[in-house]
Amino acid sequence: MKVPRFQMQRIYSDGSKEEPKIYKIRDIQTDWRMGRRGFLLTSAIGTGVLSSCATTTIPPQTPQNERTGSCTEEINAHTGIVQSVRFSPDGRLLASGSSDNTIKLWEMPAGKLLKTLEAGKSIINSVCFSPDGKLLASGFSDSIKLWEISTGKLITTLKRNWSAVKSVCFSPDNKYIASGLTDNTIKLWEVPTEKLIITDTLARRTNFEKWEVPPGNLIYTLEGHSKTVNSVCFSPDGKLLASGSDDNSIKLWEMPAGKLFKTLKKHKYDVYSVCFSPDSMQLASGSLDDTIKLWDIPSGKLIKTLKGQSERINSVCFSADGKLIASGSDNNIIEVWELPTGKLLLSLKGNSNYNYIKSVDFSPDGRFLVSGFRDYTIKLWEMPSGKFITCLFDPAALERGKKANQYTVTNEYGQVITFTMPCGSPLPPGAICTCDCVPGTLYVAPPKSRTSTFCTCDKICTCVPIK
């Protein structure tokens, strides 16, 4: 190899007679495979000296394909992988848990961010609303936390050992929380009750606590699986608890006794997700073996195996009417199946390149399907058409210095949906600009005409008509 000679020295070449220039890298293409010659040729270099990066051109808008959920880059809900998404029982809220250590609550279907719950340094693996919609349980890499929805207040932390919590689920009667753990067990916890408790009275002031947390509220531990328990789910009638594990099996436990009822062993590899049908008569399971299996309850008999293009099924869920099953997979595909035929109805894709779906959930009214992705996005789809609607957006998840704008559109159901685009994007007719170019600054300006308008981003975002 040649001896390196990079020390500063005079260079004799044709370029030596020009004026000295500093080059700016506007956009470095991350194709590191290019050689030195090609490296900068395809990146947008502007010659300029300490020039700013302002541009007056409107960047091209990514077309939104009904069957491909392509959000414009950086329109993210989180700054980490979206591990779990769950609608509230009334469908008005969505909770999302992420590896960015936050849980976010979104108003649905508008997609407006309501609250961010900071969870410390732990990854959130699972979120679940209580049946009465008042509490949110979140499973972390080291504990379970319970939050009060109305205030966003942390009520209690359940922690008994160092095992990571992979899945949490409330019982239908609101009394228990089941958790699946990496120590191969399932733990059942008592849910705090809502009760005004006087905690102390000092100097004419009485302090109240709204939630009574029972001491030692671990009820019992279910042992039987030989590997990590990835998913737990109560049947809607409350009689059974299903658990899916890395030991390739599903176990059904009688509730609340905690007695093992049945073991289902047809999957070839790890079971990542289990979900009961609304009538408690069927169980769906998703697995590393790329299949979804439907089981008859309580016989445990395998009814059907569904196999599409998906690889490694991370999440399965039933629609509220029990007529559809959705699955999210590692190869970036959401598949929606019709029941009882098992016919594949829809195949929905996210953005490509190292993307996968960790969690899917139907809205209680069956009109929407939500999906949490590895690329930090949460995508909303219309059901049963499969039309892609929008990505949920949190301005705090934008990279520093980036800007975005938002507008709302009223859909055919009369629901107001919020869309987010990079600053300067054109808006469709009828859209109302709710720009938030500078995070924290909101300016609402109705369009001056029914023709297209676009948002500019300066210090204050305004909507002006295109001439």
Partner 1 sequence: METDNLLRQIFSIPLDENKYLIYAPLKGIAFIGNVSLVNSIFEQCRSSGALWKTENLDFLHQLNFFLPEPFPVDEYKQSGTQYDAVILFLTNQCNLRCSYCYASSGEYPRKTMSWEIARDAIDYVMESVRLHNAPVMTLGFHGGGEPTLNWNILTRSVDYARCLADKNRVPLQVSGSFNGYWSRKILKYILNNFTELSLSFDGLPEVQNLQRPAMGNKESYPRVAETLHALDGADFPYGIRMTITNDTVDRLAESVAFICDNFHPQKIQVEPAFAEGRAIENHSLIKDIRVFIDQFMRAYSIAEKQKVTLFYSGARLNALTTRFCLAACRAFVVTTEGDVTTCFETYGREHPAGPRFFVGTYTGNGGFEINTEKRQKHFSRTVDEIPFCQNCYCKWHCAGDCEIKTTAASGDGFQPSRCLINQELIKYLILDKIKQNGGLLWVNHHQ
* Six-digit token string for 195: 């009760």
String marking each residue 67-106 x if it binds partner 1 according to CB under 8 A: ------------xxx-----------------x-------
Smallest separation (angstroms) from partner 1 to the CB of 82: 11
Does residue 118 touch partner 1 according to CB under 8 A?
no
Per CB under 8 A, which of residues 5..24 are in contact with partner 1?
5-11, 13-24
In whole angstroms, what is the distance from residue 378 CA to residue 370 CA? 7
Closer to partner 1 by CB, 110 or 164: give it. Answer: 164
Smallest separation (angstroms) from partner 1 to the CB of 6: 4
Nearest to 162 by CA among 180, 182, 148, 177: 182
* Six-digit token string for 289: 């073996």
CA atoms within 13 A on the CB side of 115: 17
Smallest separation (angstroms) from partner 1 to the CB of 227: 7
Of 30-38, 235-243, 389-397, 425-433, the window that binds partner 1 (rule: CB under 8 A) is 30-38
Q: Are 26 and 46 within 8 A, CB to CB?
A: yes
Measured over the CA atoms of residue 187, residue 193, residue 194 and residue 195, the dihedral's sign is negative
Size of the chain in residues: 467
Does residue 198 touch partner 1 according to CB under 8 A?
no
String marking each residue 270-309 x if it binds partner 1 according to CB under 8 A: ----------------------------------------
In whole angstroms, what is the distance from residue 5 CA to residue 2 CA? 9
Residues 6+ apart with CB under 8 A from 404: 74, 75, 393, 395, 398, 420, 421, 422, 423, 436, 437
Q: Are 141 and 119 within 8 A, CB to CB?
A: no
Q: Are 422 and 403 within 8 A, CB to CB?
A: yes
Smallest separation (angstroms) from partner 1 to the CB of 422: 18
Does residue 157 touch partner 1 according to CB under 8 A?
no
String marking each residue 131-150 x if it binds partner 1 according to CB under 8 A: ----------xx--------
Per CB under 8 A, which of residues 237..266 are in contact with partner 1?
246
- Residue ranges binding partner 1 (CB under 8 A): 1, 3-11, 13-26, 28, 30-33, 36-41, 49-50, 53, 79-81, 99, 121, 123, 141-142, 162-164, 182, 227-228, 246, 354, 374
